[in-house]
A = this chain, B = another copy of it.
Amino acid sequence: MGNLIPKPTEAELEILQVLWENGPSTVRFVNDRLSEKREVGYTTTLKLMQIMVDKGLAKRDTASRTHIYQAAINESDTQERLLKSFVQRTFRGSAMKLVVQALGSHDTSKAELDEIKALIQKIEDEQE
């Protein structure tokens, strides 16, 4: 199904992260989370969240005076979509190169490496 919902901008993605992590939230709550990281005005966050509803990135419940917002798009679908275009743009389509960079430059723990090995095993089994 063709996706009509646009790619979130950076600021929108920051808000989506909060919504994904905490579930339905008020503007106040989201703004407080964002404010932990950087200076941002309440009305700025409000406006962005209203725009996100317009774009279909978020939904809101306006039953009570304090509106409750929630993400309208799924976290891992969105990640997959963004990853795909990122790989295209930055690694000319080579997911392989990206994985090598990711494993190489971020230090990855023993447990994580084990997890990846298990994942590879699973993929290999499926490829039989």
Contact = CB atoms under 8 A, between A and B. Distances in A.
Contact of A103 (B76, B105, B119): B119
Contacts of A80: 101, 105
Contacts of A92: 17, 21
Interface residues of A, number: 41
A79 to B, nearest CB: 6
B13 A89 contact: yes
Given A10-B89, A99-B116, 11 more contacts: A79-B91, A82-B90, A83-B90, A83-B98, A83-B101, A84-B106, A95-B103, A95-B106, A103-B119, A103-B120, A113-B123
Interface of A: 10, 13-14, 17, 21, 76, 79-80, 82-84, 86-87, 89-92, 95-106, 108, 110, 112-113, 115-117, 119-120, 123-124, 127
